[in-house]
Amino acid sequence: MRRTVVRDPSNGPVIDIGGPASVPAVLGIVRPCRHHLSPALHRRWAAHLCGTCLSLRDGHGQLARTATNVDALLVSVLAAAQAGPDTATERRAGPCPARGLRTATVVSGDAAALAAHAALLLAAGHLADHVDDAQGAFRHRPLAAAGRRVATRWSDRARATAPTGFDPSALLAVPARQHAVEHAAGTVTLADATAPTADAVAAAFAHTAVLAGRPANAAPLAVTGAAFGRLAHLIDALDDLDDDRRDGRWNPVDATGAGVDATRALARAQVATIAATLPTVALTDGLDARLAHRLLVHETDRALGRTLLRSEQPSTDQPPHPGDHPGSHPPREFLAGCAAAAGLCCTGQLCCTDPITGPWSGQPRSNPCATCCDCTDCGCDCCDCCSDGDGCCSCCDCGS
């Protein structure tokens, strides 16, 4: 049900600090662009993203940088937002192709290490899930075997290098718990299906309160994290629904019997929970606190809106019959798929076309890269009209 995470190790997160609106080509639902963040907030967001990426490299090697996850960096943002600017740990990073060969000041320390740890474990689970489903390039045994080895190595390394004081059991248990849910004999609900991810993110969010020395924040952060983890899982399920139905893979929308409408409603409830709970967390005044609010409140709502827009057409609560997808093509062999993938990149389809034809599957699928910015519709939508300030404009009553 999940997307491939293995990419060329030389390709880090795609961040163009000095160019037009840009987003990272990495996993995650929170993907803001310049039209949705002020320049100061966008630079700070990039500092957390680069810090997570470099922490992955330093702790686990170059290949681990492909596990960079824009949602995992929320851990780094939350820890910094609670600790305050005077306690921030930063370092100077050398030139990187992802920054146009520019140097940059990036976030480091325990918060970045925790974000990297969470990203590595999530990526290991995603990759193992992709291999189990034989999706895309992993239909080929050599690549499936290589993917399995990478997932196992990442999981083992993350288990052995857990940040001090952090219990990684919830994150480590996600793949096994998810497998148990998907193969359960009895009735499974949406709450059951999303519980492993929700519990894992809740644990990571709550530990940021420990890092920042604010134990009273642990409880509301756990609630926020659970809602965010459940939301990410539901968005993933809705985005992948058509592909999963076509290929006969397990998807909680159909497997639980909830259907599309109930899944959308539950996802909306998670956005509302985040918006209601985050203000109860004691954050310091500063850039990181404003960034946490923008990412967790506004960008989660935007991410869900993108998914709802895509899932409204033409998904229904009934799985389609074979042959209902005109224009689909038979699966391609590995080399032919590589050539098709190169064609998507070189012709610009990967950035501008939605849906696209999967390079290996040969089937039409939604293209998250084509709509992740919403840069063609940047009217005054609450805070979105602010490109010069540090946070929200006067028309926003959200308090941040």
CB 12 within 8 A of CB 63: no
Residue 27 lies in a domain: no
pLDDT classification of 313: cutoffs 50, 70, 90: low
DSSP 3-state of 270 = helix
CB 74 within 8 A of CB 32: no
Residue 331 lies in a domain: no
Can you tell me the distance from the alpha carbon of 87 to that of 70, in angstroms, rounded to the nearest whole number? 23
Per DSSP, helices labelled H in 212-363 are 218-247, 252-255, 259-277, 287-293, 300-311, 334-346, 349-352
58-62, 296-300, 358-362, 380-384: least confidently modelled range: 380-384
Between 93 and 1, the more confident residue is 93
The tally of domains found in the chain comes to 1
Per-residue pLDDT at 126: 82
CB 76 within 8 A of CB 115: yes
- In this predicted model, what pLDDT tens digit does every residue of 336-356 receive, in sequence order? 777 777 777 666 566 556 567
**60: CATH:** 1.10.600.10
- Sign of the alpha-carbon dihedral angle for 88, 118, 33, 290: negative
Amino acid at 43: R
Percentage above 70 pLDDT, the chain: 74
Amino acid at 73: L
For residue 321, the 8-state DSSP code is P
Can you tell me the distance from the alpha carbon of 142 to that of 149, in angstroms, rounded to the nearest whole number? 11
∠ CA 53-223-219, rounded to 5°: 95
Which residue carries 């689970």 as its tokens?
A: 125
Residue 81 lies in a domain: yes
| pLDDT over 90 at 75, yes or no | yes
- In this predicted model, what pLDDT tens digit does every residue of 252-262 receive, in sequence order? 999 999 999 99
Q: Which two tokens stand for residue 159?
A: 């288990």
Per-residue pLDDT at 8: 34
CA of residue 123 relative to chain centroid, distance: 10
Report the predicted TM-score, pTM, of the whole model to 2 decimal places: 0.75
- In this predicted model, what pLDDT tens digit does every residue of 356-370 receive, in sequence order? 777 777 766 655 554
The overall average pLDDT reported for the chain is: 78
Can you tell me the distance from the alpha carbon of 267 to that of 273, in angstroms, rounded to the nearest whole number? 10
Residue 29 lies in a domain: no
Residue 391 lies in a domain: no
Per-residue pLDDT at 388: 39
For residue 94, the 8-state DSSP code is E
pLDDT classification of 165: cutoffs 50, 70, 90: confident
- In this predicted model, what pLDDT tens digit does every residue of 186-244 receive, in sequence order? 889 999 999 999 999 999 999 999 999 999 999 999 999 999 999 999 999 999 899 88
Residue 354 lies in a domain: no
CB 98 within 8 A of CB 15: yes
| pLDDT over 60 at 275, yes or no | yes
Report the DSSP beta bridge partners of residue 107: 90
Between 211 and 8, the more confident residue is 211
- Give the residue numbers spanning the domain of 150: 39-320
In total, the chain counts a number of residues equal to: 400
Per-residue pLDDT at 160: 84
CB 50 within 8 A of CB 93: yes
| pLDDT over 70 at 387, yes or no | no
Residue 66 lies in a domain: yes
| pLDDT over 50 at 380, yes or no | no
Put residue 321 in one of left, alpha, beta given phi > 0 → left and psi -120 to 50 → alpha.
Answer: beta
Can you tell me the distance from the alpha carbon of 56 to that of 395, in angstroms, rounded to the nearest whole number? 39
| pLDDT over 70 at 148, yes or no | yes
Per-residue pLDDT at 207: 94
Residue 175 lies in a domain: yes
Which of 81, 178, 82, 80 is CA-nearest to residue 129? Answer: 178
